[in-house]
Amino acid sequence: MRKESATATLRCGECDTPHPDWHCPECHSAATKQLRQGVERIAEQVRAMAGDAPVALSAGAVGTLPDGAVDEGFVVATPAALPAVAGGYARIVIVGADVPAGGGLGAELQALRWWLGIAALARPRGERGEVVAVGQLPPAVRDPMVAWTGAEAAWDAYGERADLGLPPMRRAIRLWGDPAIITLALSERVEGERLVRHTEVAIVPAKDGVFLLVTRRAAQSVVDALRRRQQDLSRAGEGELRLRVDAPLEPVS
C-alpha cells in the first residue's frame, strides 16, 4: 500500500486501486507509517535550498505537468509524471530507486523499465548529462542501467523464462477462493483432460489459491472452462471462484 501525501487515499502498490477504508488485518488500525518522504515534502526541501531558482512539482495528486512546460530551475516529480524538457535534464536524481514490492516475477524488469525511461530524459553524456540513482538496486537492475543495456537484459530474462516455461511463454491464470472450490475447478475437463492432469497446464501453489501456467495454445479453452464453472457456482449459490488472467506471479510466503 502507498499514498502520495499525508492526506491522500491509500492505493495498492501493484494495481493502483484506491482503498479509502483500509485497516490492518492484524490489529485493525487505520494508522500508517511513513517509510519515505512524499513528493510534496521533497519539493518543500528543494525550494528551501534552491534560492531564487523556480521549483516545479508534478504528481498525480497535485497535477501532472505536460512535456515542455518547464524550461528552467528544478522539477520534483513522481516517476510517471516527470515531464520531458527541451534538450534534456542536466541532472536527474532518482530518490528511493528500488524494485516495486509485490511485483512478482517481473519486478526487476519493471524497475529497469521505470528507471531507464526516466534516465532517457537526461542530456547525453557527451553534453554532461548525469543520472544518479539513490536506493538499493539489485545487480539485475543496476548493471543494465550503468551499461545502458536494457534490451539485452530483457532478452536474457526472456530466454530464462522460455527454458522454465514461465510467462510470457505461458499464460498465468490465478485462481483463488475456498479450497474446496479450487479443487472443484481443477477437476474441469479441457480437451478431454482434467486440468489437474492436463499436459499443457502446470499448477503452482499461491498464498490463497493456485496459479495455472498454461500454454498459449490451450489458454483460451482453459479460461472458458473456468468461467463456465464460475457461472455454475453463481447460479447454485455454492461458493465463489475468482480468477485473473495474466496475473503477476508472486512467491508463496
CATH code for position 193:
3.30.70
Considering the domain architecture, whether residues 140 and 53 belong to the same structural domain is answered as yes
Which of 160, 179, 209 is the endpoint of a domain? 160
Domain assignment of residue 51, yes or no: yes
- C-alpha span between 29 and 136 (Å, rounded): 30
pLDDT (average), residues 125-143: 92
- C-alpha span between 116 and 64 (Å, rounded): 20
Look at residue 139 in the predicted model and tell me its pLDDT: 92
User: What is the span of the domain harbouring residue 128?
Assistant: 39-160
Which of 127, 160, 193 is the endpoint of a domain? 160
Which of 1-5, 239-243, 246-250 is predicted with the least confidence, judged by mean pLDDT? Answer: 1-5
Which three cell numbers mark 22? 483500509
Task: Please check whether residue 103 is in contact with residue 120, taking contact to mean a CB–CB distance below 8 angstroms.
Answer: no
The model's confidence at residue 213, banded by pLDDT at 50, 70 and 90, is: very high
Q: What is the dihedral of CA 238, 244, 245, 251, to 10 degrees?
A: -120
pLDDT(93) > 90:
yes
Which of 139, 160, 181 is the endpoint of a domain? 160
pLDDT (average), residues 165-171: 90
